[in-house]
Each structure stands twice: as C-alpha cells, then as structure tokens.
C-alpha cells in the first residue's frame, strides 16, 4: 500500500546490535544533517516521554553518528527528533549520546 504507516523511515531497519539487543541500522547511505523522524513524544497526562519505534531501538555511543534534537521552540518542545551528525554508510548502526532531560 503506497500511503500506509511505516514505523521507521525508508532506509532504516532493525537487527541485532553488537552494542545492546536490537539496534537501528542504515540500509542506504545518509548525508550529515538529515532528519530521520521523531524519537520521543511528551505525553502530558502521564507526565512522561513516550518512545516511538525510532526512539525505542537507537543505542547509546560515546562517539555517536546521530543526535536527538531538544529544540524546545518546535512543537512546544513536545517531541524529540533524530538527525544525522555525519555521513552514515549502508549497514552502519545509528547511535546517539543518549540523554533525555525532562522539563
């Protein structure tokens, strides 16, 4: 189906990670500065962050190739977005220096 829901953007897949459990991997090359999707959504009733499929499988690294935007002027700070920091090659695991501050 052409317009069906996809839990991950095109070019990403899940597979076993050498870091931890299941990780997020590139199935194509990505340039630096590419928006990959939302990782977390703030749920006001729960007063907590809800992980999207994208945010649920990205692993931590001390030398990450992606970052989670905490830019609070966008969507009133109610979502976090994943961007590439540097070019990522097909087959490479996507990682972030994982912190999520609650405001």
Q: Is residue 1 part of a domain?
A: no
Q: What is the pLDDT of residue 55?
A: 86
Residue 36 structure tokens: 């990959």
- Alpha-helix runs per DSSP H in 25-77: 53-57
Q: What is the pLDDT of residue 38?
A: 85
Q: Is residue 60 part of a domain?
A: yes
Instruction: Provide the whole-model pTM.
Output: 0.81
Measure the CA angle with vertex 21, ends 8 and 4; round to 5°.
15
Q: Is residue 4 part of a domain?
A: no
Q: What is the pLDDT of residue 76?
A: 62
Q: Is residue 101 part of a domain?
A: no
* Structural domain count of the chain: 1
Q: What is the pLDDT of residue 95?
A: 95
Q: What is the CATH number of the domain that holds 85?
A: 2.170.270.10
- Cα(1)–Cα(77) distance, integer angstroms: 32
Residues of the domain holding 80: 12-96
Instruction: Give me the residues of the chain with pLDDT under 50, please.
Output: 102-103
Q: Is residue 6 part of a domain?
A: no
Q: What is the pLDDT of residue 46?
A: 77
Q: What is the pLDDT of residue 3?
A: 61
Q: Is residue 30 part of a domain?
A: yes
Q: Is residue 49 part of a domain?
A: yes
């Amino acid at each position: 189906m052409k317009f069906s829901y996809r839990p991950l953007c095109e070019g990403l897949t899940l597979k076993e990670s050498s870091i931890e459990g299941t990780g997020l991997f590139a199935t194509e090359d990505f340039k630096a500065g590419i928006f990959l999707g939302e990782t977390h959504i703030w749920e006001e009733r729960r007063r907590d962050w809800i992980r999207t499929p994208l945010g649920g499988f990205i692993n931590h690294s001390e030398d990450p190739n992606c970052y989670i935007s905490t830019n609070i002027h966008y969507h009133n700070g109610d979502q976090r977005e994943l961007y590439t920091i540097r070019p990522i090659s097909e087959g490479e695991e996507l990682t972030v220096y994982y912190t999520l501050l609650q405001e």
